[in-house]
Amino acid sequence: MDQNNLLEVRDLRVTFRLDKKTTFEAVKGISFNVPRNSTVALVGESGSGKSVSSLAVMGLLPPDNTIIDPQSGIFFGGRDLLTLSIAERREMCGKDISMIFQEPMSSLNPVFTVGFQIAEVLRQHMGMNRKQARARTLELLDEVGIPDPANKIDAYPSQMSGGQQQRVMIAMAIACEPKLLIADEPTTALDVTIQKQIMDLIAALQKKHQMSVLFITHDLGLVGEIADHVIVMRHGEVRETGEVRQVFETPKDAYTRALLHCRPSLDERPWRLPVIADYMEGKAGPGVEIKQRSRGYTPGDEPVLVVKNLSKSFYMREGLFGKREFQAVKDVSFTLPRGKTLGVVGESGSGKTTVGLTLLRLHQATGGTAMFHGKDLIAMPNKEYLPYKRRIQIIFQNPYASLNPRFTVGQILLEPMRIHTIGANDQERIAKAYWLLDKVGLPEQAFHRYPHEFSGGQRQRIAIARCLTMQPEILVCDESVSALDVSVQAQVLNLLQDLQDEFGLSYIFISHDLSVVKYIADQVMVMHQGKVVELADSDELYRNPVHPYTRTLLSAIPRGVQI
Q: Exposure pattern of 192-213 as b/e (b: 16+ CB <10 Å)?
A: bbbbbbbbebbbebbeeeebbb
Q: How much is the mean pLDDT over the chain?
A: 88
Q: What mean pLDDT is predicted for residues 231-245?
A: 93
| Residues 346, 352 contacting (CB under 8 angstroms) | yes
Across 5-9, 102-106, 220-224, 370-374, least confident range = 102-106
Q: Which residues pair with 75 in a beta bridge?
A: 8, 80
State the pLDDT confidence band at 452, using cuts at 50, 70 and 90: confident
Q: How confident is the model at residue 189 (pLDDT cuts 50, 70, 90)?
A: low
The CA-to-CA distance between both ends of the chain, in Å, stands at 34
Query: What strands, in cross-sheet order, belong to the sheet with 392-395?
Result: 392-395, 474-478, 506-510, 341-345, 523-528, 531-537
Are 82 and 73 a contacting pair, CB within 8 Å? yes
Q: What pLDDT band is residue 558 in, cutting at 50, 70 and 90?
A: confident
Q: Which long-range contacts (CB under 8 A, 24 or more apart) does 396-399 make?
A: 396/463, 396/478, 396/480, 397/189, 397/478, 397/479, 397/480, 397/482, 397/483, 398/483, 399/451, 399/456, 399/459, 399/460, 399/462, 399/463
Q: 3-state DSSP call for residue 8?
A: strand
Judged by phi (left if over 0) then psi (alpha if -120 to 50, else beta), residue 308 lies in beta
pTM: 0.81
Mean pLDDT value across residues 26-48? 92
- Dihedral sign, CA of 447, 450, 456, 462? positive
Share of the chain above pLDDT 90, in %: 52
Cα 352 from Cα 346, distance rounded (Å) = 7
pLDDT at position 263, please?
75
Instruction: Please determine, for residue 430, whether its predicted confidence score (pLDDT) is greater than 80.
Output: yes
**pLDDT exceeding 70 applies to what percent of the chain?**
98
Tell me: pLDDT of 198 over 90: no
Q: Give CATH for domain 1-96+178-248.
A: 3.40.50.300
Chain Cα centroid distance, residue 546: 28
pLDDT recorded at residue 120: 94
Q: Model confidence at 505, in pLDDT bands (50, 70, 90)?
A: very high
Contact 490, 275 (CB under 8 A): yes
Diameter of the chain measured on Cα atoms: 74
* CATH 3.40.50.300 domain position(s) in the chain: 1-96+178-248, 303-555
Instruction: For residue 412, give the H/E element and its range.
Output: helix 409-419
Residues 541-558, mean pLDDT to the nearest whole number: 88
- Average the pLDDT over 104-125 and give the result: 90
pLDDT 10s digits, 374-399 = 899 999 998 899 888 889 999 987 77
Residue 428 DSSP one-character state: H
Q: How confident is the model at residue 563 (pLDDT cuts 50, 70, 90)?
A: very low
| Measured distance CA(98)–CA(89) in Å, rounded | 12
Inter-CA distances, 27 with 54, 235, 284, 454, 561, Å: 11, 8, 29, 21, 29
pLDDT at 47 over 70: yes
Distance CA 480, CA 562 (A): 29
More confident residue, 399 or 32: 32
pLDDT in tens, 246-298: 998 888 888 888 888 777 878 888 888 888 888 777 777 767 777 888 899 99
Half-sphere exposure of 387 (CA within 13 A, CB side): 4
Mean pLDDT of 217-222: 78
Per-residue pLDDT band at 64 (split at 50, 70, 90): confident
Asked if the model's pLDDT at residue 25 lies above 50, the reply is yes
Task: Tell me what pLDDT residue 560 has.
Answer: 58
DSSP string of 21-84, one letter each residue: S-EEEEEEEEEEEEETT-EEEEE--TTSSHHHHHHHHHT-S-TTSEEE-TT-EEEETTEEGGGS
Please report, for residues 249, 270, 271, 282, 293, the alpha-carbon distance to residue 289 in angstroms, rounded to integers and kept in the order given. Answer: 20, 10, 11, 12, 13
Domain 303-555 homologous superfamily, CATH? P-loop containing nucleotide triphosphate hydrolases (3.40.50.300)
Q: What whole-number distance in Å separates Cα of residue 385 and Cα of residue 359?
A: 12
User: What is the tens place of the pLDDT at every residue in 513-535?
Assistant: 888 899 999 999 999 999 999 99
Residue 1's pLDDT band, with cuts at 50, 70 and 90, is: low
Query: What pLDDT, on a 0 to 100 scale, did the predictor assign at position 559?
Result: 64
Residue 562: predicted pLDDT: 44
- Pairing relation of β-strands 341-345 and 506-510? parallel
* pLDDT mean over 145-159: 89
Q: What crossing angle do the helices spanning 486-503 and 456-468 adopt, rounded to 10°?
A: 20
303 CA to centre of own chain: 32
Helix (H) or strand (E) holding 232: strand 229-234
pLDDT score of 501: 92
At 13, the amino acid letter reads R
